[in-house]
Amino acid sequence: MTDRTLDYLIIGAGMAGTQLDHFLKSDSKALLDPEPGSYKIGESIIPEHYHHPELRALIPEVKKLPSYSPKWGSMFIAPDSVASFPLPPHGAEVAMHASRHEVEPLMHKIWGTKIEKERVRSVDMDAKTVTTDKGVWKVNKQIIDCSGPAMVVARQVDEITELWPVWARWSYFDITAIDNAAFDKWV
């Protein structure tokens, strides 16, 4: 087991952790993820994800991915209602569906992201240490949890409250014809 000291430790190499690692201008940082790309929810990328010029520069490469398809809007269907949200014309060129299993490795490749493949075993916020399966990290400034729903740090320090079970389900449909009566009946 090795001991390492740095200023910033980012946990989770998904979209948030990868972008934070890229934009955090420090030579004293590390990005931890035991299995990059293993836990993913969602594939939809909205215009707001790509406002920054460095992110917008990724779009031509994202559009080459096998999972890419344009996104024209969203529809939310509940037992008693339907809500449709078309995208405004100013954002349509960067709204898309693309698998995060493809987008994140593309970001890592283009940006040269270094990921330490380590699993967090414990977190001591008072001592600012993170113990992994490969050693101990001493953090001088900030431990940043970008693990999403895994909530690695919150679970490790036992500061998580499950409010209620929440489930979501989504589907993608190709529109081949418009038949309002059939749609109303289906909904």
pLDDT for res 167: 63
Asked if residue 154 has pLDDT above 90, the reply is: no
Residue 109 pLDDT > 80, yes or no? yes
What is the pLDDT averaged over residues 116-137?
Answer: 94
| Per-residue model confidence (pLDDT) at position 93 | 73
pLDDT of residue 30: 96
Residue by residue, DSSP assigns 25-67 as --SSEEEE-SSTTSS----EE-GGGG-SHHHHTTHHHHTTSTT
Through-space distance between the first and last CA atoms of the chain, rounded to whole angstroms? 57
pLDDT at 130 over 60: yes
pLDDT surpasses 90 at 134: yes
**Dist. CA 139–CA 130, nearest whole Å:** 8
Mean pLDDT over 140-151 rounds to 89
Q: What is the pLDDT of residue 77?
A: 76
d(CA 71, CA 151): 29
Please report, rounded to a whole number, the percentage of residues in the chain having pLDDT higher than 90: 40
As a whole number, the mean pLDDT across the chain is 83
Give pLDDT tens digits for 55-83.
889 989 999 999 888 877 777 777 787 77
Residue 87 pLDDT > 80: no
Better-scored residue on pLDDT, 66 or 168? 66
> Mind giving me the DSSP string for the chain?
-EEEEEEEEEE--SHHHHHHHHH---SSEEEE-SSTTSS----EE-GGGG-SHHHHTTHHHHTTSTT-EE--EEEEEETTEEEEEEPPTTTGGG-EE--HHHHHHHHHHHHT---B---EEEEETTTTEEEETTEEEEEEEEEEE--GGG-HHHHHTT-----S---------------HHHHHHH-
1: pLDDT strictly greater than 60: no
pLDDT at 48 over 70: no
| Closest alpha carbon to 12 in 32, 29, 28, 39 | 32
